[in-house]
Amino acid sequence: MNDVPAAKGHAPSLQAIGMTKVFGPLRALDDVSINVDAGSFHALLGENGAGKSTLVKCIMGFYSGDKGQVLLDGQEVSIRSPRDARANGIGMVYQHFTLVPSLTAAENLVISRADAPDIIDWGKETRALAAFMDTMPFRVPLNAQVSSLSAGEKQKLEILKLLYLDQRFMILDEPTSVLTPGEADEMLGLLGGMAARKEITVLMISHKFREVKAFCDHFTVLRRGRFTGSGDAKTVSVADMSAMMIGDTPIRERSGRVQSAGGRDVLELAGVFADDNDGASVVKSVNLKVKAGEIVGIAGVSGNGQSALVEVLSGQRPLADGGIFIRGERFEPNRGAYDKFKVFGLPEEPLKNATVPKMSVAENIAFRSFDKPPVAKLGWWMSPGPMKAKARDLIARYRVKTQGPDAPIETLSGGNVQRAVLARELSGDVDVLIVANPCFGLDFASVSEIRSQIMEQRNKGAAVLLVSEDLDEILELSDRVAVMSGGTINYVSKIEDTDRNTIGQHMAGH
């Protein structure tokens, strides 16, 4: 153990020049160049599918680029595998943690070393780690098991791991998506400080303009695999950045919020409890009412019981205790009740939760109607004719791009899968709408369209429950906001009486 990295290693600069990567007919990267100065905190912006991850994967050696070169401190380096990247001091923090949950923080650090010995002298390693931690601007309890750490601590540990391995060019892939706003700001502030002291160079993939404006100094924008702009993050306006990101893609006008006179309560959750797959209670006594013509947003950091709550409401998880009522009547999530109460849903990751990937687009669109006339005759005999006719109509109305109604829905892109689900769920009368992270991973145009569809349902009088990990989405759409933390709702407020900070504090459980 003679190579504990010195904390004062220098921050490298990195240039990627003319990067090109072709996958079959798709040019995922087309002659993209990016220039990250030593000690800068550089944002890489772009929509889903713009080529951001392809670019960083080329830099990290997961893909070998078809063309282009990477220069580190002005010297060309050849990176053929993540091992080469690591040897050159380039490290990456992924959107999802890559720590081993059952090991302690110290164990995670030591095993991450490429040269970890076969027999580890833990006494010596612990002393070396303690010495290393003393030089760091932030700490993580070394002897705590990783599974007991909060998301913010895990993220810090990921970053410490890179520093421990002396990887001073850090690529961060949407690092704040699992953090509370407070945790995110703290972490980005620390990284910004280290970059300013020229201890590290950071390249951060982000969707969030607020963070880019607050913490980054430079940015580069990609669109459809091409470089579309770069500049000083402090001086270029958000409007200009987003113009570079979306180009001339027409964005549907948002549906405005129509003042509603305050309808009566439609959906009521009364003391709802639910357990996770191991029997531990993850939803604890949730009480909430949603009125007709109202969107209630449930904010919260991922993993605080929101997904279990949505699963209960959509029949994917049994109710452990409590009740769900619609217009005062008990609601059991089965087919009859869905039709009777006109309950519809837009779940997150629609390919996983709302469709059967191998079935056709037409069949997927028929999920609500396959057992009713005109598709079903006598209640059991299905005629494909009316099913396809309806699918063709909805495909056109909702602009679903598909090879045809008979194409398996898994061949569609994410935005088009969600449009097909919207077509199925929203084309009739909707009284209750359960929505969970509806725009996760979708491009701008689709996001805008899907949000206005949700608003439109509200304006038509539906009671909408919106569960989202995207606070901006909640702030944009909700009439009232509720915050979920530790499986229970600890804060409810009208949207006009609250702000991002207050919500953020409750998300952190305060």
Nearer to other proteins, 49 or 65 (CB): 49
Between 106 and 412, whose beta carbon lies closer to other proteins? 412
Beta carbon of residue 151, minimum distance to other proteins (angstroms, whole number): 25
Instruction: Find tokens 């003042």 and name the residue.
Output: 259
CA distance 443 to 90: 29
- Stretch of 99-107, 111-119, 413-421, 486-494 lying at the interface with other proteins (CB under 8 A): 413-421
359 binds other proteins (CB under 8 A): yes
Which position among 338, 348, 439, 467 is part of the footprint of other proteins (CB under 8 A)?
Answer: 338
Torsion of CA 130, 136, 141, 147, to 10 degrees: -120
Q: What is the 3-state secondary structure (H, E, C) of 383-439?
A: CHHHHHHHHHHHHHHCCCCCCCCCCEHHHCCHHHHHHHHHHHHHCCCCCEEEEECCC
> Where do the H-state alpha helices sit in 230-328?
238-246, 306-313
The only residue of 115, 134, 381, 496 in contact with other proteins, by rule CB under 8 A? 381
> Going by C-beta distance under 8 Å and a sequence separation of 6 or more, which residues neighbour residue 63?
21, 54, 57
Residue 373 within binding range of other proteins, rule CB under 8 A = no
Pairing of strands 294-299, 463-467: parallel
347 binds other proteins (CB under 8 A): yes
| Residue 449 identity | E
> Which residues does 105 contact at the CB level (< 8 Å), separation at least 6?
140, 141, 142, 143, 144, 146, 149, 157
> Which of 367, 386, 441, 492 forms a contact with other proteins (CB under 8 A)?
367
Contact 71, 77 (CB under 8 A): yes
Question: Count of residues binding other proteins (CB under 8 A)?
Answer: 57
Q: How far is the CB of 9 from other proteins (least distance, A)?
A: 41
Instruction: Give least dist CB 238 to other proteins, A.
Output: 22
Examine residue 340 and tell whether it contacts other proteins (CB under 8 A). no
Complex with other proteins: residue 315 or 322, whichever CB lies closer: 315
Considering only 111, 130, 131, 396, the residue that binds other proteins (CB under 8 A) is: 396
Q: How far is the CB of 451 from other proteins (least distance, A)?
A: 13
Nearer to other proteins, 121 or 332 (CB): 332
- Assess contact for 473 and 493: CB atoms under 8 A: no
Q: Are strands 26-36 and 14-23 parallel, antiparallel or unpaired?
A: antiparallel
The Cβ of residue 401 has, within 10 Å, a number of other Cβ atoms equal to 11
Q: Does 403 bind other proteins (CB under 8 A)?
A: yes
405 touches other proteins by CB under 8 A: yes
Query: Would you count residue 278 as binding other proteins (CB under 8 A)?
Result: no
Look up residue 433 and give its two tokens: 């709408």
> Which residues from 425-464 bind other proteins, rule CB under 8 A?
427, 443, 445-446, 453, 456
- Separation between Cα atoms, residue 58 and residue 325, nearest integer Å: 52
Cα separation, 135 vs 7, in Å, equals 6
Using CB under 8 A, pick the residue from 303, 357, 385, 486 that binds other proteins.
Answer: 357
Question: In whole angstroms, how close is the CB of 395 to other proteins at the nearest point?
Answer: 6
> Does 353 participate in binding other proteins (rule CB under 8 A)?
yes
Residues forming the site for other proteins (CB under 8 A): 25-26, 49, 250, 252, 314-316, 333-338, 345, 347, 352-359, 363, 367-368, 370-371, 376, 379-382, 395-407, 412-413, 415-416, 427, 443, 445-446, 453, 456
